[in-house]
Chain A
Amino acid sequence: MYGYHGKVLVVDLSSESSWWDYIPEDVYRKYLGGIGLGTYLLYKYCPPNANPLSENNPLIFATSPFVGSRFTTTSKFAVLAKSPLTGFIGDSLSSSHFADALKNACGDALILLNSAQNFTLLHVDNGNPVFIDASDLVGLSTFDTEKSVKSLLGNAVRVASIGPAGENQVLYSSIANDGGRQAGRCGLGAVMGCKNIKALAINGDIETQIYDLEGVERYRRKISAKSLGEGTDKYRNIGTMANVSLFNRFGILPTKNFQKATFENADKISGEELVERHFEKNSYCSNCTIGCEKLLATTDNGKKSIGRMEYESLFAFGPLCNIEEPNTIIRAARLCDELGMDTVSCGATIAWAMECDENGISIGDQSDDMKLSFSDSQDLLKTISMIGHREGIGDLLALGSKRASEIVGGGSDHWAMHVKGLEIPGYEPRSLKTMALGFATTPRGACHNRSSGYEADLSGTVDRFRADDSRSEVAVASEDFTAVLDSLIWCKFLRKAFDDFYADSAQAYELITGFDITPDELRLCGERINNAKKMFNIREGWCRSDDTLPHRILNEPLPDGVMPGVSLSREELDAMVEDYYVSRGWTHDGLIPFSKICELGLDELLVN
Chain B
Amino acid sequence: MVSVTVEVYGTLRLRTKRKYIYVEIPEVSDRKDLAFALSKVCPDLVGIAINSDATDFNDTYSINLNGLTFLDNDSFRVMSGDSIILLSNQAGG
Q: Chain A residue with minimal CB distance to B83?
A: A249
Q: Chain B residue with minimal CB distance to A232?
A: B90
A259-278 contacts to B, CB under 8 A, are 271-272, 275-276
CB contacts (< 8 Å) of B67 on chain A: these are 249-251, 561-562
* CB of B87 to closest CB in A, whole Å: 6
Q: Chain B residue with minimal CB distance to A237?
A: B11
CB contacts (< 8 Å) of A562 on chain B: these are 66-68
CB contacts (< 8 Å) of A458 on chain B: these are 62, 87, 91-92
B50-83 contacts to A, CB under 8 A, are 58-60, 62, 64, 66-72
A388-432 contacts to B, CB under 8 A, are 427
* CB of B48 to closest CB in A, whole Å: 8
B1-36 contacts to A, CB under 8 A, are 7, 9-11, 13-14
CB contacts (< 8 Å) of B70 on chain A: these are 459-460
CB contacts (< 8 Å) of B66 on chain A: these are 562
Q: Tell me if B60 and A455 are in contact (CB < 8 A).
A: no
A173 interface contact, C-beta 8 A? no
Q: Tell me if B60 and A231 are in contact (CB < 8 A).
A: yes
A452 interface contact, C-beta 8 A? yes
Among B11, B62, B85, B91, the most chain A Cβ lie within 10 Å of the Cβ of B91
A238 interface contact, C-beta 8 A? yes
Q: Tell me if A245 and B9 are in contact (CB < 8 A).
A: yes
A234 interface contact, C-beta 8 A? yes
CB contacts (< 8 Å) of A459 on chain B: these are 62, 70, 89, 91
Q: Tell me if B13 and A460 are in contact (CB < 8 A).
A: no
Of A238, A311, A460, A493, the contact of B72 (CB 8 Å cutoff)? A460
Given contacts A242-B11, A310-B93, A311-B93, contact A234 B68 (CB under 8 A): no
User: Binary interface profile of A, 580-603, with partner B (CB < 8 Å = 1, else 0)?
Assistant: 000000000000000000000000
User: Is the interface on chain A under 10, 10 to 19, 20 to 34, or 35 or more residues?
Assistant: 35 or more
* CB of A584 to closest CB in B, whole Å: 23
Among B60, B67, B68, B71, the most chain A Cβ lie within 10 Å of the Cβ of B67
Of B9, B58, B62, B93, the contact of A230 (CB 8 Å cutoff)? B58
CB contacts (< 8 Å) of B91 on chain A: these are 454-455, 458-459
Q: Tell me if B92 and A243 are in contact (CB < 8 A).
A: yes
Among B9, B60, B93, the most chain A Cβ lie within 10 Å of the Cβ of B93
Of B58, B69, B72, B93, the contact of A448 (CB 8 Å cutoff)? B93
Q: Tell me the complex Cα distance, A182–B10, Å.
A: 25
CB contacts (< 8 Å) of A246 on chain B: these are 9-10, 85, 87
Complex A-B: 15 CB contacts under 8 Å:
A230-B58, A231-B60, A237-B10, A237-B14, A238-B11, A245-B10, A245-B13, A246-B87, A271-B10, A272-B10, A455-B91, A458-B87, A459-B91, A460-B64, A561-B67
- Other contacts beyond A242-B10, A250-B64, A272-B9: 16, CB < 8 A: A231-B90, A234-B88, A237-B14, A243-B92, A245-B10, A246-B85, A251-B67, A272-B13, A275-B14, A448-B93, A454-B91, A455-B91, A458-B92, A459-B70, A459-B89, A562-B68
Residues of B participating in the A interface, judged by any CB pair closer than 8 Å: 7, 9-11, 13-14, 48, 58-60, 62, 64, 66-72, 85, 87-93
Leading 8 A-B pairs by shortest Cβ distance: A460-B70, A240-B93, A562-B67, A458-B91, A230-B60, A242-B10, A234-B90, A237-B11
Residues of A participating in the B interface, judged by any CB pair closer than 8 Å: 230-235, 237-238, 240, 242-243, 245-246, 249-251, 271-272, 275-276, 310-312, 427, 448, 452, 454-455, 458-460, 493, 496, 561-563
